Amino acid sequence: MTHEDYKAMLHAHALSALDAEDARALNQHLAECDECRSELADWESTAASLALGVNPAEPSPQVRDRIMNAVRNEKQASRVVPMPQQSRRAVWASFGQVGAIAAAVACLVLILWLIVMWQQNRSLHRQIDLLSSEIRYTQQEARRANEFVNILSSPGAKVAELQGSGQGAGATAQFVYDRSGRAMLMANNLPPAPAGKEYQLWFIVGKNPPIPGGTFAPDDVGRGELFDQVPDQALESAVFAVTLEQAGGATAPTSSIYLRSGL
Amino acid sequence: MCLDVRHTDRLILRSEQPHDDHDVELLKAVAVKDEAGEAALGQLYDRYRVILFSVLMRILNNREEAEDVLQEVFLQVWRRGADFDANRGRPFTWLVTLARSRGIDRLRAIGSRERVVAEAGASEPAEEVSDAATDAIRSEQRGVVNSALSQLPEEQKRPLMLAYFDGLTQSEIATQLGAPLGTVKTRMRSGMIKLRELLSARGQYFE
């Protein structure tokens, strides 16, 4: 295909409407062509304006709270916040008079009671957050399994086991695909992808250069999933491998292999 | 930002640009992931919740799923805010593209591809959503886009909608519409070119 052929595909790529083979070829061209990358950004802006044509709808107010709670939980998980130190002397200084002891005791009881209630409240909130995330996790698992079984039950379906190696030691993945090339990768125990990086799937056929597949980022427990299309030439016999690349993917692998299948 | 200097009627552009700069600053703040970043994420949510949720509702046609994906989108913004590159596009385009892409992923995951494709959400009555002072999108902008879309011939508009909101590829659209693939490709291209021209003429198109 020529540069002009690729240019004529950019508007459809902005709508993600290209068929898998065309999209793959265009992505390879985009990695090398500044002009097409810039024109694609232009078409993406036009495509995004379609969003302004839909009927406006308002999410329920709880969504904001759920997001902000999840963000706070992530922040707390990523660093230990030192507890503020209380100045006992400052507290007791105001209760220096013997006559004030009764009032102080009453205050103390009230404060202790408030602290207990506050802790109970926090603990209940934590439990609710935990249960919500467990439910979400279970729902996602069910969806993944559903899609996996869908492909697996298609005519000519195959499953490849991928084993971790090098920095991906300990990771595993299953890659399922059918005769039409519809495919899904389910990976577990992958190390987190650093900012600006994503994992990328590769199809290796014989001694030919690896054919680039889609990219994905694992979640905070190292699980990742990818829906992709197996290229025709890789349907019969291929090695499937996963490397860590720049976000958006590369045209040739640049990192060592994190996961790979046997032949 | 790369402004299109071919058009002089850019009233919306002029009022839009400071908001873009503000949103770029908010995304930069989010990327730091500190207290201020958390507040910035809250502000981005207040500005973009309606437009992103509207897109997700149009794609998924289910409040619970759409709210769940909206939450995923903002968590993604929190985790990967550093990936936003102001040289490559506007915050609006980045956020809408992210939400649309997550919405289509969810649509595929819940196996709704076989459902009867809901056309343009036409049967859904519009919710009463008034312009909040914080909202990134004003009703005038919706009006401009709807007016542009109404000027597209139906045969050009439909493939764009099926691709954007139903995640169908050109081949799938050809099957859905019972039209030859070549015809679908030509109509999509004509539709996108015309849409760009119409939005440019109204100053809505600015990159």
C-alpha closest to that of B166 among B115, B94, B90, B132: B115
The token pair at A165 is 């190696």
Q: Do A64 and B49 touch (CB under 8 A)?
A: yes
Please name the residue that has the structure tokens 């950019």: A10
pLDDT of residue B71: 95
8 Å CB contact between A226 and A201 = yes
CATH 2.60.40 is the classification of domain A154-261? yes
- Give A243's strand partners: A200, A257
> Which of B28, B32, B44, B170 to mutate against chain A (most A CBs within 10 Å)?
B170
- Residue B126 pLDDT exceeds 60: no
CA-based nearest residue in chain B for residue A184 = B109
Q: Choose among B148, B131, B135: nearest CA to B205.
A: B148
Query: Which domains are present in chain B?
Result: 16-111 (1.10.1740.10), 138-207 (1.10.10.10)
Q: Cβ neighbours of residue A223 under 8 Å, at least 6 residues apart?
A: A186, A187, A188, A190
- How far apart, in whole angstroms, are the C-alpha atoms of residue B205 and residue B102? 24
Confidence (pTM)? 0.59
| Torsion, Cα of B132, B63, A215, A184 (10° steps) | -170
pLDDT at position B136, please?
63
Res. B159: pLDDT tops 90: yes
Angle, helix B11-32 to helix B35-60, in steps of 10 degrees: 120
A58 touches chain B (CB under 8 A): yes
Interface contacts A/B by beta carbons within 8 Å: 181
Q: B42, A68: Cβ pair inside 8 Å?
A: yes
* Measured distance between the N- and C-terminal CA atoms of chain B, rounded to whole angstroms: 7
d(CA A221, CA A192) in angstroms, rounded, equals 8
The SS3 of residue A263 is: coil
Q: Distances in Å between the alpha carbon of B14 and those of A213, B3, B205? A: 41, 11, 11
- From chain B, the residues in CB contact with A196 under 8 A are 82-83
- Higher local confidence (pLDDT), B126 or A230: A230
Asked if residues B175 and A29 have their Cβ atoms less than 8 Å apart, the reply is no
Q: How confident is the model at residue B132 (pLDDT cuts 50, 70, 90)?
A: low
The residue type of A199 is Y
CA distance A144 to A55: 30
Domain boundaries, chain A: 3-48, 154-261
Is any Cβ of chain B less than 8 angstroms from the Cβ of A110?
no
Q: Could you tell me the maximum CA-CA distance found in chain A, to the nearest angstrom?
A: 94
Q: Per the CB < 8 Å rule, is B126 touching A55? A: yes
- The pLDDT of residue A20 is 86
Between the two ends of chain A, the Cα-to-Cα distance in Å is 31
pLDDT number for residue A190? 93
Nearest to B204 among A11, A47, A49 (CB): A49
C-alpha radius of gyration, chain A, whole number? 27
Query: Are residues B127 and A74, on separate chains, in Cβ contact within 8 Å?
Result: no
B66-123 pLDDT, tens digit per residue, is: 999 999 999 999 988 888 888 888 899 999 999 999 999 888 887 644 444 444 444 4
Residue B167's identity, in one-letter code, is G
Q: B185-204 in b/e burial notation, b at 16+ Cβ within 10 A? A: bebbbbbbebbbebbbebbb
DSSP A257: E
DSSP B137: S
Percent of chain A with pLDDT strictly greater than 70 = 91
Inter-chain residue contact A15 with B142, CB threshold 8 Å: no
Tell whether the model's pLDDT for residue B4 goes beyond 50. Answer: no
CB contact under 8 A, B89 and A68: no
- Residue A211: the pLDDT is 92
* Cβ within 8 Å, pair B163-A16: yes
Chain B nearest CA to A133, separation (Å): 12
CA angle B88, A247, A146 (to 5 degrees): 120
pLDDT for res A102? 83
Q: How far, in Å, CA of B185 to CA of B171, rounded? A: 9
Interval A17-38 mean pLDDT: 90
CB A231, CB A203: distance < 8 Å: yes
Looking up tokens 């993944």 gives A144
Longest Cα–Cα distance in chain B? 55
CA–CA gap between residue A59 and residue A236 (Å, rounded): 47
- Kindly state the average pLDDT of the residues B23-39: 90
Per residue in A121-157, pLDDT (tens digit) is 888 888 888 888 888 878 877 887 888 888 888 888 8
